[in-house]
């Protein structure tokens, strides 16, 4: 299983430039949460609609739809209001406060980056006066809460682009302007996401079955607990004997118990050559 | 080096926080209510965080001085430890911290004065008895000294209390606190050592064995007492020659009279911790060694442990003339001495 990115965006206008840049295609007919992906299934995108409830449902939907495993990078990107005059600027969010509960969420900071960083306030209703907050949106808090449970907070990204502020009224926002704001920053965004996908790939080995495992459980009958023990022993065994064909070694074994005993015995007598 | 600093609201204005902030001007500073909000969360990835750990500045409220766990300490002392920091800049593959914590970020407790108050209270409470304090249980004692200055802070307390022993456990070659301080006879700089060939595989990001021996030599020349900690003992092909080579190398450089004590530590993990660490590094050769899971612990078979300890003791006794204090090494599960 290889690492991938799951993009969750609230608006179609936000999604459009990402879909184009990544060459994504619509893959289902779900009218509530349209899902897109590229041909290698490296990038997936779901349009969630506005608000935290929608984002939670969309994450759940794409998670099941795409069979998410632990090495997915989750990205919530979109526009945000700002009290400062930073129209069009991209921010990587490292602290999110949910306005309704004051609860805070911290996406990971494992990637060194020159992107500007900021805190964000997630509100339930559109905020009319946000003169006292750095950035404000309506999705990020719950997005981080639910995706952290799937991939861990280190593989969760929230990126916001300032769309309205003291000199840019929210009333002037059109779908075209929103798409344009995303498009202006798309290279920076994709570059950052790709770096995190590379890091996430370090986790792939955690989920891999040891070489030969499937063949072994198909050949002999193992109970569920024996399968677990077998996997742990084989993980160690294939590291100790990387050039030995395990199936050839095991072929004279009569049953699962003999297989397990053989592996244990081999490991018990294994002396690591440290030189 | 550190590009993100999380800071507990309660220590934002602490002078040490300000000092650290001024040293990392370009680091992103993020305030957190309590360090646990960022450090203790389970939904994080130790292995990935290790690539770029953040620093968390916090206040400790209790548990400044704690009795050592079984299997740690000097047998004729009342043994305590303190941890001004959690986590380490090094990345040893056998380190139990990677199984203990869900985060690899460094936590630094900046209220050092509360540590010294509690250490002094513990010394006072054990008047007339041998008392020893260990630093370096939850971190390396010296590795981040250039940022924390904790050792420089704590040494004067032990100068004032010469009956209390301090052990600084380390792999670091950061010697500044000991170079600028007077030598304290009641302070032991204890170096963790494994044979060079094994260290190259497992002691990731640490100073090499050569550089550690060089640092020990400098400390010995100044008069500091050293501890040799063969901890953990690592088994493998030709282990006798590897350990003999290490012991010979040490004693060819370090005068035996500068050695305070020698101890051996077994490679041991609670079962759940082993599972966590092995799942992080399934391709690590160390975990394919002859490890047994018994009584909730994963370790080498006791005959391997005993043979390794006996062999190393024997080589040391053959190598140097004067008697050396060997610290006991206990099996935490049975509380019995491992040394045969
Ligand atoms: S030096 Fe010690 S604390 Fe640091 S990583 Fe190595 S074993 Fe762990």
What ipTM was predicted for this assembly?
Answer: 0.94
Which range has the worst mean pLDDT, A107-121, A139-153, B270-284, B321-335?
A: B321-335
Strand-pair partners of B298: B269, B293
Look at residues A100, A33, A75, A153 and name the one whose alpha carbon lies nearest to residue B6. Answer: A153
Nearest by CB to residue B197, choosing from A210, A239, A275, is: A275
H/E element holding B90? none
CATH 3.40.50.1580 occupies which residues in chain A?
5-206
Portion 238-297 of B in contact with A at CB < 8 A: 238-239, 242, 278-280, 282-292
**Relative orientation angle of helices B209-222 and B239-253, to the nearest 10 degrees:** 30
Q: Please answer yes or no on whether A208 and B282 come within 8 Å at the CB atom.
A: yes
Residue B118 scores a pLDDT above 90: yes
- How many structural domains does chain B have? 1
* Domain CATH for B281: 3.80.30.30
Residue A16 scores a pLDDT above 80: yes
A41's tokens: 């299934």
For residues B298-305, average pLDDT: 94
> What is the pLDDT, as a whole number, of residue B205?
97
Q: Would residue B323 count as lying in a domain?
A: yes
Nearest by CB to residue A236, choosing from B47, B195, B288, is: B288
Q: For the CA atoms of B324, B214, B207, B317, what is the dihedral angle to 10 degrees?
A: -20
Residue B76 scores a pLDDT above 90: no
Q: Please answer yes or no on whether A274 and B3 come within 8 Å at the CB atom.
A: no
b/e burial code for range A182-207 (CB count within 10 A of at least 16 → b): beebbeebbebbeebbebbeebeebe
The minimum CA-CA distance between B54 and chain A, rounded to whole Å, is: 7
> What is the pLDDT, as a whole number, of residue A56?
98
Residue B69 scores a pLDDT above 90: no
Instruction: Please report residues of B whose CB lies closer than 8 A to that of A94.
Output: 4, 28, 30
Residue by residue, DSSP assigns B183-246 as P-TTEEEEEE---HHHHHHH-TTSPPHHHHHHHHHHHHHHT-EEEEEE-S----TTHHHHHHHH
Strand-pair partners of B169: B190
CA atoms within 13 A on the CB side of A168: 20
Site to substitute for ligand 1 among B92, B101, B198, B202, most atoms within 8 A of C-beta: B92
Residue B329 scores a pLDDT above 60: no
| Dist. CA B305–CA B317, nearest whole Å | 18
Instruction: Please report residues of A whose CB lies closer than 8 A to that of B288.
Output: 236-237, 239-240, 267, 270, 272
> What is the pLDDT, as a whole number, of residue A264?
96
Q: What is the bridge-based pairing of β-strands B297-300 and A72-82?
A: unpaired
A67 SS3 class: coil
For residues A211-237, average pLDDT: 96
Summarize pLDDT for A74-121 with one digit per residue, the tens.
999 999 999 988 999 999 999 999 999 999 999 999 999 999 999 999
Residue B328 scores a pLDDT above 60: no
B19's tokens: 């000092």
Residue A71 scores a pLDDT above 70: yes
Cα nearest neighbour of B201 on chain A: A274
> What is the pLDDT, as a whole number, of residue B337?
42
pLDDT-based confidence at residue B330 (cuts at 50, 70, 90): very low
The sheet that has B78-82: what strands, in order across it?
B66-67, B78-82, B131-135, B164-170, B187-192, B225-230, B259-264
> Count of CB contacts below 8 A, A vs B?
118
A243-251 long-range contacts, Cβ below 8 Å, gap at least 24?
A: A245/A212, A246/A211, A246/A212, A246/A216, A247/A212, A247/A215, A247/A216, A247/A219, A250/A216, A250/A219
Residue B336 scores a pLDDT above 50: no
Q: Please answer yes or no on whether A106 and B242 come within 8 Å at the CB atom.
A: no
CA distances to B162, B277, B279 from B283, in Å:
47, 11, 9
| Dist. CA A28–CA B18, nearest whole Å | 54
| Dist. CA B97–CA B102, nearest whole Å | 9
Separation of B18 CA from ligand 1 center, angstroms? 27
> What is the pLDDT, as a whole number, of residue A1?
59
The minimum CA-CA distance between A96 and chain B, rounded to whole Å, is: 11
Chain position carrying tokens 């770096």: A195
For residues B10-22, average pLDDT: 98
Q: Please answer yes or no on whether B48 and A202 come within 8 Å at the CB atom.
A: yes
Instruction: Please report residues of B whose CB lies closer than 8 A to that of A154.
Output: 44-45, 48-49
By residue range, what is the domain housing residue B130? 4-334
> What is the pLDDT, as a whole number, of residue A68?
60
> What is the pLDDT, as a whole number, of residue B119?
98
The ligand 1 site (C-beta within 6 Å) comprises B 88, 90-92, 95, 97, 139-140, 171, 206
pTM: 0.94
> What is the pLDDT, as a whole number, of residue B73?
79
> What is the pLDDT, as a whole number, of residue B332?
40
> What is the pLDDT, as a whole number, of residue B331?
42
Q: Would residue B340 count as lying in a domain?
A: no
Portion 295-334 of B in contact with A at CB < 8 A: 301
For residues B231-235, average pLDDT: 96
Give which of A105, A113, A154 to mutate to test B binding, by max B Cβ within 10 Å: A154
Residue A4 scores a pLDDT above 60: yes
Residue A58 scores a pLDDT above 60: yes
> What is the pLDDT, as a whole number, of residue A70?
60
Separation of B263 CA from ligand 1 center, angstroms? 17
Beta carbons within 10 angstroms of residue A133's beta carbon: 19
> What is the pLDDT, as a whole number, of residue B35?
97
Residues with Cβ within 8 Å of B230's Cβ and at least 6 positions away in sequence, in order, are B193, B194, B243, B262, B263, B264, B265, B312
Cis peptide before A202 (omega within 30 of 0): no
Q: Would residue B229 count as lying in a domain?
A: yes
> What is the pLDDT, as a whole number, of residue A8?
98
Which range has the worst mean pLDDT, A191-205, B64-78, B172-186, B216-230?
A: B64-78
| Dist. CA B40–CA B269, nearest whole Å | 21
Residue by residue, DSSP assigns B114-174 as HHHHHHHHHHHHTTTS-EEEEE-SSS-TTTTHHHH-HHHHHHHHHHH-TTEEEEEEE----
Instruction: Please report residues of A whose CB lies closer than 8 A to that of B200.
Output: 274
Length of chain B: 340
Beta carbons within 10 angstroms of residue A268's beta carbon: 13
pLDDT-based confidence at residue B236 (cuts at 50, 70, 90): very high
> What is the pLDDT, as a whole number, of residue B327?
66
Summarize pLDDT for A110-151 with one digit per residue, the tens.
999 999 999 999 999 988 788 888 899 999 999 999 999 999
For residues B69-94, average pLDDT: 90
Q: What is the bridge-based pairing of β-strands A4-9 and A72-82?
A: parallel
Contact B194, B249 (CB under 8 A): no
> What is the pLDDT, as a whole number, of residue B70?
74
Whether B237 contacts chain A with CB within 8 A: yes
> What is the pLDDT, as a whole number, of residue A165?
87
Nearest by CB to residue A110, choosing from B28, B52, B236, is: B52
B40's tokens: 């203790």
Which range has the worst mean pLDDT, A50-59, A147-156, B189-198, B330-339?
A: B330-339
Give which of A74, A144, A274 to mutate to test B binding, by max B Cβ within 10 Å: A274
For residues A208-225, average pLDDT: 95
Kindly list the residues of chain A whose beta carbon comes within 8 Å of any beta carbon in chain B: 94-95, 104, 106, 108-112, 117, 119, 148-149, 152-155, 199-200, 202-203, 205-206, 208, 210, 232, 235-237, 239-240, 267-275
Fold of A5-206: Rossmann fold (3.40.50)
């Amino acid at each position: 299983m290889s690492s991938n990115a799951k993009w969750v965006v609230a608006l179609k206008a936000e999604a459009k430039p990402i879909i184009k840049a990544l060459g994504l295609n619509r893959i289902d007919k779900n009218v509530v949460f349209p899902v897109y992906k590229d041909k290698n299934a490296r990038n997936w995108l779901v349009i969630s609609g506005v608000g935290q409830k929608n984002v939670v449902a969309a994450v759940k939907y794409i998670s099941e739809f795409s069979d998410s495993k632990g090495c997915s990078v989750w990205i919530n990107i979109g526009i945000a209001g700002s009290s400062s005059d930073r129209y069009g600027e991209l921010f990587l969010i490292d602290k999110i406060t949910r306005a309704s509960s004051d609860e805070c969420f911290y996406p990971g900071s494992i990637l060194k980056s020159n992107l500007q960083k900021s805190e964000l306030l997630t509100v339930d209703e559109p905020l009319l006066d946000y003169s006292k907050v750095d950035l404000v949106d309506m999705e990020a808090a719950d997005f981080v809460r639910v995706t952290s449970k799937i991939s861990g907070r280190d593989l969760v990204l929230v990126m916001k682009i300032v769309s309205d502020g003291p000199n840019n009224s929210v009333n002037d926002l059109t779908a075209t302007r929103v798409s344009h704001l995303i498009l202006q920053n798309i290279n920076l965004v994709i570059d950052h996401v790709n770096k995190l996908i590379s890091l996430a790939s370090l986790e792939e080995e955690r989920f891999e079955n040891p070489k030969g495992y499937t063949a072994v459980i198909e050949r002999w009958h193992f109970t569920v607990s024996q399968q677990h023990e077998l996997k742990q022993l084989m993980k160690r065994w294939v590291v100790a004997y990387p050039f030995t064909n395990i199936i050839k070694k095991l072929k004279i074994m009569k049953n699962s118990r003999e297989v397990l005993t053989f592996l244990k015995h081999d490991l018990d007598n294994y002396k690591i050559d440290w030189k | 080096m550190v590009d993100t600093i999380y800071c507990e609201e309660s220590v934002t204005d602490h002078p040490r926080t300000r000092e650290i902030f001024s040293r990392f001007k370009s680091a992103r500073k993020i305030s957190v209510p309590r360090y646990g909000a960022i450090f203790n969360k389970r939904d994080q990835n130790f292995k990935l965080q290790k690539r770029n750990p953040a620093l968390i500045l916090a206040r400790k409220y209790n548990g400044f001085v704690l009795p050592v766990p079984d299997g740690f300490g000097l047998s004729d002392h009342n043994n305590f430890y303190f941890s001004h920091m959690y986590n380490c800049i090094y990345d040893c593959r056998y380190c139990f911290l990677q199984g203990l914590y869900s985060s690899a970020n460094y936590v630094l407790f900046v209220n050092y004065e509360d540590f010294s108050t509690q250490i002094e209270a513990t010394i006072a409470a054990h008047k007339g008895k041998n008392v020893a304090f260990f630093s370096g249980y939850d971190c390396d004692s010296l590795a981040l000294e250039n940022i924390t200055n904790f050792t420089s802070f704590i040494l004067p307390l032990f100068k004032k209390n010469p009956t209390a022993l301090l052990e600084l456990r380390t792999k670091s070659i950061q010697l500044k606190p000991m170079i600028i301080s007077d030598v304290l006879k009641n302070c032991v700089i204890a170096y963790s050592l494994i044979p060079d060939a094994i260290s190259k595989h497992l002691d990731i990001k640490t100073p090499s064995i050569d550089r550690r021996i060089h640092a020990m030599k400098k400390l010995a020349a100044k008069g500091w007492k050293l501890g040799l900690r063969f901890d953990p003992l690592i088994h493998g092909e030709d282990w006798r020659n590897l350990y003999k080579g290490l012991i010979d190398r040490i004693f060819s450089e370090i005068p035996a009279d500068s050695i305070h004590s020698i101890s051996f530590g077994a490679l041991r993990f609670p079962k759940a911790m082993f599972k966590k660490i092995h799942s992080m590094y399934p391709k690590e050769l160390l975990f394919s060694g002859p490890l047994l899971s018994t009584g909730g612990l994963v370790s080498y078979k006791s005959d391997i442990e005993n043979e390794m300890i006996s062999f190393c003791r024997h080589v040391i006794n053959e190598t140097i003339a004067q008697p050396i204090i060997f610290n006991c090494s206990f099996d935490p599960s049975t509380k019995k001495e491992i040394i045969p």
